[in-house]
A and B are shown apart, each in its own frame.
Chain A
């Protein structure tokens, strides 16, 4: 009964204080974070909420650079290029009062490497974590890994003692059949302490009094109330009615209207994700269409398609201006991107038809385009536009759009000859693109490459990048691969999509290329 009474009192207070308390950030997004366990899900909505509670060694800042967080200095050892050394921040405590030390780093990396972890691929190259002293730690890797640091931006640090006390030394195992302690409880070093988590309904966190960065950040926000709101119109309505302060994902069709609404601020910018078409370039015969042999195996046909797809029309009509047309799979943020790669050919239907003729497909062919309809911004609309554009060079395309949970497995299982896919690059480095999209499906690589491209030379070039410890030499090797694959036109890049955020005009939260966000950085300006 006492609980009821205190809850009633809290409710009364909340009502009494009114909707516009200056310190609470009421934040909404379409999807909930799936778990509080920092190593059990590698997904955007889960990480972004955990970033308020847990902290990694370094974070990826809004401009793409690395910002020191729990590590103050880092670098590859001068004597041995397979060793990374980190200097840890001093005076950091966990929410339960324990000190953050090198032991906790070792524990967290080992936990992230466990079979049930979803982060294990990002730390797979770490062979051993050596604790030098309380605030120095060394990562020994299998061979040089100069971009290891880029893979640690979402790798959160946990308290060893807390995990051991609560039987949470391994990430959630779906076989176990019971709830995992770390799924709904959290103990990080971050600026906010988890107070309540009701999945799909509300997550509450309040300011951590002993946070190490009390004097470094604005920390105007003293309470975070994160609510998933699935239906897009409701999400926008909640912002307009002042029931939420910050909407992290604004539907494209509402951007213009919100920009003209008094009291609402919209920020936008490109996301670190390219949208493109993949083709079966490797098989002798396509199975999802009618054609003699496999037209996509001919570079002329691919070049013709590249010329026929009008990226600027897609930008203006389908995306309402909210995209940046692009001629490569590399988002412009990442290491290895060069200006020339981003350029795309002018639409030239005459030349495209000539190329089709040269390839022996002057009479065209028929193929099915597989497309997701609930994953990327206006994904189905992009595919519809492509169908019309390819019709102009004689390619009859039938469109099959479906949910992501059917679309992605069919890419994994090679059950498509022509498909739309998007690819984000969390490491901000080209190798990630090569490994997953250009490498042949072997040696644990190429898992998202459904083009059937299997080129020993390209794979050898990619392998060389991985073994190269010197950054300049490595970048030259990356450039060589890009030249090779851009020339081959194995994919038809379309654009980089835009993220838009909307908020009350007392806030100004810039867009982050990975859609991340830190409440500690937000200054409230009423």
Chain B
């Protein structure tokens, strides 16, 4: 067990190093931050001097090694754009992204599962067919289009919900929450729906397929033959067995909800880490971009590690093979 965890941790470190290396090597193609930092009056000599101060004149391996050495101590440097420590910036915006991701994930899970069960039980119903067709739209429309469509309908035409921002937030310790104010909750609705829509359709289709599979199995037939009520058969026996793969997938998707909040955050001017990343790309704010990508890498690695450990606990076969170093 300990050997398994240690090996996984070693792999995770390697993955993070590779993420750092790949992202760092890409930054050179995004451009040069000097121009954004200096204003148009700066002379060529002053530009070169700033590049030297920031170490941007060094060859790529040197820059990367420096970055890793500092990152290992938790120091990601200072943002070129805002002049503040990168970790402060990210920690300040993380609550916004995590709250949005949490609400979206819950929304996607509950709505997705309910619709999935419904369409599995009544596959030929008119409502099921409508939901199935509508879900195709959810999968195929790009997020920003959905977001702008929702803004147009609910903010501009109906005037029910705000079109941008997070509303009023309340500071609790280091965490700023929008859950405690009316405007905070109202602001959450549209971005959460936008972000949840894709995951929702994914979960719904997965639940539907799994459930239909289970409903065909023998023990369900026996349960029906025993005269158990329909509700008990569907929810107690069928759904319970459907949920194992669904929970795994949902957990893994949580990482991508956090990572792919970028587009939703940009459309709704949601002040989270995704928006921070986009503005940093435009400015070529290397320290922020590097830290963000490492953070997202870390999120995925941690989620995968947890899932692996859960499998390890659930599946005895892994334990045997694990000892041989599969």
Contact = CB atoms under 8 A, between A and B. Distances in A.
A80 interface: no
Contact of B35 (A4, A122, A202, A405): A405
Nearest to A443: B43
Contacts of A180: 83
B323 to A, nearest CB: 47
Given A34-B82, A447-B44, A7 B165 contact: no
A35 B155 contact: no
B31 to A, nearest CB: 3
Contacts of A408: 31-32, 35
B204 interface: no
Interface in A103-118: 118
**Which of B42, B83, B183, B184 has the most chain A CB atoms inside 10 A of its CB?**
B83
A243 B155 contact: yes
A228 B156 contact: no
Nearest to A405: B31
Interface stretch (A169-177, A213-221, A297-305, A510-518): A169-177
A3 B279 CA distance: 31
A174 B35 contact: no
Interface in A429-475: 436, 441, 444-445, 447-448
B146 interface: no
Contact of A10 (B151, B163, B168, B284): B168
Contact of B85 (A35, A172, A177, A229): A177
Among A4, A122, A201, A242, residue most surrounded by chain B Cβ atoms (within 10 Å)? A201
Contact of B267 (A32, A37, A234): A234
A43 B37 CA distance: 9
B33 to A, nearest CB: 7
B217 to A, nearest CB: 48
A241 B163 contact: yes
Interface residues of A, number: 64
B166 A234 contact: no
Interface in B43-59: 43-45, 47, 50, 53-54
B269 A231 contact: yes
B38 interface: yes
Interface in A141-175: 172, 174-175
B246 interface: no
A227 B181 contact: no
Given A201-B165, A405-B283, A35 B82 contact: yes
B45 A11 contact: no
B82 A183 contact: yes
A262 interface: no
A24 B156 CA distance: 21
Contacts of A201: 165-166, 271
Interface in A191-228: 198-202, 227-228
B278 A122 contact: no
Contacts of A255: none
A238 B164 contact: yes
A121 B42 contact: yes
A447 B144 CA distance: 39
A230 B41 contact: no
Contacts of B44: 412, 441, 444, 447
Contacts of A240: 156
A178 B77 CA distance: 9
A184 B83 CA distance: 10
B269 A229 contact: yes
B281 to A, nearest CB: 9
A20 interface: no
Interface string B271-294: 100011011001110000000000
A435 to B, nearest CB: 9
A41 to B, nearest CB: 7
B41 A237 contact: no
Contact of B282 (A227, A229, A403): A403
Contacts of A119: 39
Nearest to B75: A177
Given A3-B171, A199-B82, A405-B31, A11 B151 contact: no
Contact of A8 (B42, B165, B170): B170
A343 to B, nearest CB: 27
B151 A409 contact: no
A523 to B, nearest CB: 27
A178 B87 CA distance: 11
B130 to A, nearest CB: 29
Contact of A174 (B37, B159, B181): B37
Contact of B278 (A3, A118, A230, A404): A230
Contacts of A242: 159
A408 B84 CA distance: 25
A200 B42 contact: no
Given A406-B30, A412-B44, A8 B181 contact: yes
Interface in B133-163: 144, 148, 151-152, 155-156, 159, 162-163
A499 to B, nearest CB: 18
A15 B183 contact: yes
A42 interface: yes
A121 B151 contact: no
A177 B77 contact: yes
Contact of A405 (B33, B41, B85): B33
A228 B163 contact: no
A497 interface: no
Contacts of B283: 405
Contacts of B85: 177-179
A217 to B, nearest CB: 29
Contact of B83 (A3, A174, A237): A174
Contact of B183 (A11, A37, A227, A447): A11
Given A35-B83, A40-B83, A122-B41, A230 B183 contact: no
Nearest to B176: A198
A374 interface: yes
B172 interface: yes
Interface string A26-41: 0000001011010011
16 contacts: A4-B171, A4-B172, A10-B168, A11-B182, A179-B83, A179-B84, A179-B85, A179-B88, A201-B166, A234-B148, A234-B269, A243-B162, A405-B31, A406-B29, A412-B47, A444-B44
Given A121-B43, A230-B279, A409-B35, 7 more contacts: A35-B83, A180-B83, A231-B269, A233-B148, A234-B268, A405-B35, A406-B32
Interface of A: 3-4, 7-8, 10-12, 14-15, 32, 34-35, 37, 40-43, 118-119, 121-122, 172, 174-180, 183-184, 198-202, 227-231, 233-234, 237-238, 240-243, 374, 403-406, 408-409, 412, 424, 436, 441, 444-445, 447-448
